[in-house]
Amino acid sequence: MEQSLENYDAFRGEDLFRERGNLVGAGRCGGKAKGIAYSYAALSDTPLEEKIGFPDLTIVLSTEIFRDYIDQNSLSGLYDDDDWPGVRRQIADSELPPAITAELDNILDRFDAIGAPPLAVRSSSLMEDSIALAFAGKYQTCFSPNCGPKSNRLAVLGDCVRSVFASVFNPSARAYREKHGKNHRDEAIAVIIQSLSGKNHGSFFYPELAGTLFSRVFRRPNPRIKKEDGLMRLCFGMGTRSVDRCAARVFYLTNPSLLPAGNLPEQIVEASQESFDYIDRASCDFASGSLAEFSRFLRKEHKNYSAYVQYYADDILYSTFGEPEGPSRPIFSFPELHLRERGLFELSRELLRHMEEVSGIPVDIEFAYETSPEKSFRLLQLRPLAAYEEMSRVEIPETPSEKIIFQSDRMVSNGLLENTRYLVYVNAETYKNQWDPSAAARAIGDLNRKLEGTRYILAGPGRWGSRNPALGVPVLYAQICNCGCLVEISVPELNFSPELSYGTHFFLDMDSDGTLYLPVFSKQKKNKINTGWLDSAPYQTGDHPSVRLYKGNFSAYLDGELETGIIVAAG
């Protein structure tokens, strides 16, 4: 396959998959599959070829399969249907055409020939992962444990494929296309069926480490980090936690000892992973387990356990060689990973540098890594990294203290949003006391629709879009897509804390949308939450009592050089 690698946009991923007999249908392979094919080609005949592996088998159902499914089930009207529950019901009631089911049966035979590993069924749409837009996390990824009788495995695989097909029509995907001027009917989706990378540990299957790599750092915690330095976001177990708004360890590749969340034990704990994801082959299910529950098992299974885990007690972090007496809290803080696994960091820098030089664009790579019995790096996906265009230096105007609603000194990039008429704020105590996270998210979504075009400011406790509503309001992209500046507020007494999660799908959305971000840490120097103003200024209550709408004249000033950001009320 002879293709130029210099123009990523023009590269045809279909050619490689077709040559290897791994493309089903005559359509396109979509964005994610193109990234995998491009990686194969870009690493071929280079010194990196022997150092970088790939999943054992990757098969792509082209966009022709999706279009056949839509046509044969008369589902083209779904493109214009914004009733998501109704759309899901129609998909659930439809059937895959017999020809597609026969192809899936043959595909299972091919995976059986390599040991019947668990499977990842991923989206690969025409619009997904373009150079200009992220489309990160908008479409479905489904996992199949791939165990039990073949008839059961075939049914699960078929459900996964339909789930990916259905995700073309979900509200967040629709909102993202609309915001960026894309026609819904121009979208079609291919499906990647990929063997999961990892190992069996008893009845549990998972990679030892998994994560994402970024060749550029568009949102920096301080001026010491340069855009070109590169970043790794890492978790133990399956990589789901490295892209979702779950705690994971962030390493800046030129300064891996730097802790972006802070150096204090409580700050490290707040930012650290405490559970991990795996495939349970015994129960044939995707599962999550807590480190506290699995610590003895993991200590026996992994010789690098001490490089991954620390114990927290009495506001002190202990190594695994000096565990505290009495109750303690184990966390995946990876305190010695950059010292024990220097090769991983060197290889990551080399890979990012090579891929960016060849393609001419910043890149985002997902990977899995095993430390034993021999080092094993597997590239799972490559995508163009949608760039965040940071503004030039923003000077913060002199502002009376009483007019500053929020102030922060961390994760501040240069940014300016002036004279927006609306501030939406979620009161943490009311959110907890009137517990209905879904209703709070819907209330915000309702205001988001009404405020379209205003670039309003949205502020609330903890992590916007968290999978765990106890850590923040579980909004979807479609429910906050019109905001121009997002503020995350720590409320330690209620267990709310921002997570500086550059590298998650959530942050990639903000990058491509040009959304400003400000994390505010209460009771920390140079941070401020003006509760006096928030409680005394007039506001309207949304459909959930915790959601407040303030009308006025608001501005956000973020100075990345001085590492200071403020949200102010004029007048």
Reported as a single tens digit per residue, the pLDDT across 448-506 is 999 999 999 999 999 888 878 988 999 988 899 999 999 999 998 888 887 665 656 66
Ordered alpha helix ranges (H), 144-285: 150-166, 171-179, 240-243, 265-270
**pLDDT digit string (tens) for 362-393?**
899 999 999 988 889 999 999 888 665 666 77
Residues 409 and 564 sit within 8 Å (Cβ to Cβ): yes
More reliable by pLDDT, 540 or 525: 540
**Average pLDDT of span 219-237:** 82
> Which residues, 6 or more positions from 98, have their beta carbon under 8 angstroms from its beta carbon?
none
Residues 434 and 443 sit within 8 Å (Cβ to Cβ): no
Residue carrying the six token digits 């080609």: 41
Residue 155 to residue 460: CA distance in whole angstroms: 42
% of the chain exceeding 90 in pLDDT: 69
More reliable by pLDDT, 156 or 391: 156
Residue carrying the six token digits 């008893």: 202
Domain assignments of the chain as residue spans, ordered by start: 8-196, 204-340, 401-569
Nearest to 112, CA basis, from 234, 198, 211, 195 = 195
Asked, as a colleague might, if the bond just before 373 is cis with ω within 30 of 0, I would say yes
Residue 71 to residue 165: CA distance in whole angstroms: 13
Ordered alpha helix ranges (H), 282-359: 291-301, 305-308, 337-340, 342-359
Element (H, E) at 517: strand 516-520
pLDDT at site 440: 97
pLDDT beyond 60 at 5: yes
Residue 522 to residue 291: CA distance in whole angstroms: 28
pLDDT at site 345: 96
pLDDT at site 431: 97
**Encoding tokens for residue 134?**
């992220």
**Encoding tokens for residue 530?**
């003006």
Residue 281 to residue 33: CA distance in whole angstroms: 27
**pLDDT digit string (tens) for 236-264?**
999 887 666 567 898 999 989 988 777 88
Fold designation for 8-196: Dna Ligase; domain 1 (3.30.1490)
Helix, strand or coil, per DSSP, at residue 137: coil
Residue 554 to residue 557: CA distance in whole angstroms: 10
- As a whole number of Å, the end-to-end CA separation of the chain is 65
Ordered alpha helix ranges (H), 136-286: 150-166, 171-179, 240-243, 265-270
> Which residues, 6 or more positions from 183, have their beta carbon under 8 angstroms from its beta carbon?
177
Half-sphere exposure of 178 (CA within 13 A, CB side): 18
Residues 206 and 238 sit within 8 Å (Cβ to Cβ): yes
% of the chain exceeding 70 in pLDDT: 94
Q: What is the pTM of this model?
A: 0.87
pLDDT beyond 60 at 94: yes
pLDDT at site 342: 95
